[in-house]
Amino acid sequence: MSLKSLFASKKCVVSFELFPPKSDAGVADLMKTVGELAVHQPDFFTCTYGAGGSTRDRTMHIAAGVKREHGIPVASHLTCVGSTREQLRDYLNAARENGVDYIVALRGDPPKGETTFKPVDGGLSYANELVEMLRAEYHEFGIAVAGYPEVHQEAPNADVDLVNLKRKVDAGADVVVTQLFYDNDDFFRFRDRCVSAGISIPIVPGILPVLGLAQVQRIASLCKARLPDEFVEKLTGQSEEAGQFAVGVEHARKQVQGLLDAGVPGIHLYVLNKSTATNQILQSVHGI
C-alpha cells in the first residue's frame, strides 16, 4: 500500500524507528526486539541511515530483514551527506530490490567535526532536491520528510524553517514526521502553523520515551528540544534508574494519549532498539 493510501485508510498510523547497531550481535538482538514490537501490528518500521552513509549496508540489511521475517512495510532513511546523485541512485536501486516501501528523505547533519553542510561534487544540497529526484525517478516509494516543532537547530528562525518544510512538501512528500518534543502544545502550535502555510499532508508527531535523566538531557541538547520544568523535577526526584524510567514512560504515555485524543493521523515512536517502554505505552493508551 502506498504511504498516501495508508494514511487515508486508517484513523491512526503507528510506526517505529530503529537504528543500525554496530555489530552483528547487535543486529541479532535488534531482530529479537523487532519481533517483540511486531505484536503491536505497526503499520511500518523505519531504519536510520548513519552519517555520510556509514551504516548504509546495515540499514538495508535491517530493513530487508524486517520485511522478510514479519511482512511489515519498511522505510529506509536516506540523506544527501557524502553522496553523489549516482550513489544515491545506487542505494535506491538496492532498496527497490530489497523490498523497501518508503524513503525518509533527509538532507542529513554535517559530518563529525564540521559545522556546516557541504554537498559533494555531483551531490544534492537540500532534502527537497532528494524528494524531487525520488518523485521523478522512483515513483514506487512513499516519501516521508522531517518537521521540527521547535525549529531545526540550523534554521535562523521558525518562519524560515517552515518555508523549508513547505519546499519539501511541494516537491512531493507524502507525510511529515516530526522531531521529538516533550510538550504537546509545541506540536499543536507547529501543526497549526503548517496548516496556515498551506501544508495539507499528514503531520505525524515523533515521540521518544525518556529512559533516564542523563539520556534526555543529552538528546534534548543535541536537537534543542525543550524539557518542561515539571517533567525535569519529576525525573530529578528519582535517584534510581528504574524510577526515572517509570517517570519517562508515564510522560510519554500521557503525550501519546493526548495526541490521540486530539486526532493526530499517526504516532511515530523512536524506540531506541528496545521494546519495554513502547510495550508499556501502547498497552495503556486507547484510540489506536
Q: Which residues does the annotation mark as catalytic?
A: 17
Give, rounded to a whole angstrom, the gap between the first and last alpha carbons of the chain. 19
Q: Which residues contact 181 (CB under 8 A, 6 or more apart)?
A: 149, 150, 187, 205, 206, 225, 226
Helices (H), the chain: 3-9, 24-38, 56-70, 85-97, 127-137, 158-171, 184-196, 213-223, 229-236, 241-261, 276-283
Cell of 161: 524553517
Q: 10 Å Cβ neighbour count for 216?
A: 23
Q: What percent helix, strand, coil does the chain show, rounded to 5? A: 50, 15, 35
- Give the residue from 132, 116, 127 showing the smallest Cα distance to 163: 127
- Give the residue from 107, 150, 115 showing the smallest Cα distance to 131: 107
Q: Are 161 and 194 in contact (CB under 8 A)?
A: no
Provide the 8-state DSSP code for 228.
P
- Give the residue from 231, 266, 230 showing the smallest Cα distance to 12: 266
Q: Count of alpha carbons within 13 Å of 4, Cβ hemisphere only?
A: 11
User: CA–CA separation, 20 vs 118, rounded Å?
Assistant: 25
- Give the residue from 46, 55, 68, 62 showing the smallest Cα distance to 143: 46
